[in-house]
Structure 1
Amino acid sequence: MTKQPLTPTGVQDLLTELYGLTPTAIQVEALAIQADFKAWVKANFTLSTKQEDYLDDLAKQTTDYFGSQCSVCFSNKLPIDLIYPAPPTGEYSKWTGTANTMAVKSDGEGKPVATGTLTFEFSYTKP
């Protein structure tokens, strides 16, 4: 896949390319992002130094959760949106969160079947 910038448009372009792959190739990507969210993001997005440092600082429990959500989305070709406003001037803290409207069930083979949308949102707070 073509590396994309970590922007709302870049996420959509990457998903368009990903969801055009064979089901087997999509499953490989789903398992890869679940196994190592940070490595998958670095391999598939062009990151600024600040973005890469921020990603590196995310706790494992957080990235495991993000990877699991993305994996289910990939397997079911669900939309993933990114809300990434420009940071404020001066000092600030950056927060990353997810919200979703996903409903997940297991099928007769135990595979996740999901509907809905996953949204990643960056927000900022002033100290």
Structure 2
Amino acid sequence: MPLEPMTPTGVEDKIKALYLLSDTALQVEALSIQADFKAWVRANFILSTKQEDYLDDLNAQISTYFGSQSSICFSNRLPIELIYPAPPTGEYSKWTGSSNNLAVKSDGGAKPVATGTLTFEFSYTAK
């Protein structure tokens, strides 16, 4: 699978390619992103130096959370969107957030069954 740029279009293209995989291959990707979100992103996207640095600094708790959300979406072939506006000029702080309307169920044994959409959004605050 080719690397994609970390842009809204790149994420859309990556998700389309992932969802063409067999259920077994997609489950491998789901478990991989859940186990190490940062490593999976590095292995699947072309990142600028600033994006690499930002990913390196991403808090472990939030990285684990993002990986779990993404894994559920992969397992159920749910939409994942990226909102990534251009940064402002001057000094700024960059924030990463996720929002979703996921509804997740499990019978305890099988993979989780989910519906909904996951959205990652970058935002900026002037310093």
TM bin (shorter chain) = over 0.9
Query: What is the TM-score with the length of structure 1 in the denominator?
Result: 0.98
* Aligned residue number for residue 87 of structure 1: 87
The answer to which of 74-83 and 106-115 deviates more is 106-115
* Aligned residue number for residue 2 of structure 1: 2
Query: What is the 5 A alignment of 1:7-86?
Result: 7-86=7-86
Contact 2:75–2:111 under 8 Å retained in 1:
no
Query: What is the TM-score with the length of structure 2 in the denominator?
Result: 0.98
- C-alpha deviations, 1:23-51, integer Å up to 9, x for none? 00000000000000000000000000000
1:109 Cα deviation after fit: 2.7
* Aligned residue number for residue 96 of structure 1: 96
The answer to which of 93-102 and 110-119 deviates more is 110-119
Partner of 1:120: helix, strand, or coil?
A: strand
Partner of 2:51: helix, strand, or coil?
A: helix
CA distance in 2 between partners of 1:86 and 1:93 (Å): 13
Q: Which amino acid aligns with 1:50?
A: K
1:110 Cα deviation after fit: 3.9
Identity of aligned residues (%): 74
The alignment covers a number of residue pairs equal to: 127
CA distance in 2 between partners of 1:36 and 1:61 (Å): 11
